[in-house]
Amino acid sequence: MERATTTISIQVNKKDKELATGILSSLGLNMSTYLNMAIKQLINKNGVPFDVVNQAPKKELLEAIQEKEDILSGKINAKSYTNMYEMLKDLKE
């Protein structure tokens, strides 16, 4: 007779496993139950049950990058410093 279950062995970063185990424990779950749930969702959705995408940069980062480009291209006139002490002096004023 065929077994109804099988074993999967995976390697995971130790710290990640500890953090995940703590979260699952607070939810009343263990790693095996969670992985079985994740596999069932994978089957039900016929694909990964969450978005697998490159994180889009935040608006603030895009604005900072544009500001840097504008400074380098001369669109924005920005003061420059020859050392950090000059900059700190300006920051204190």
Question: Measured between alpha carbons, how far is 10 from 12 in angstroms, rounded to an integer?
Answer: 6
71 in Cβ contact with 78 (< 8 Å):
yes
> What distance in Å separates the CA atoms of residue 38 and residue 44, rounded to the nearest whole number?
10
Spans of the chain below 50 pLDDT: none
Contact yes or no for 82/93 (Cβ under 8 A): no
pTM over the 0.75 mark: no
pLDDT at residue 55 in the model: 83
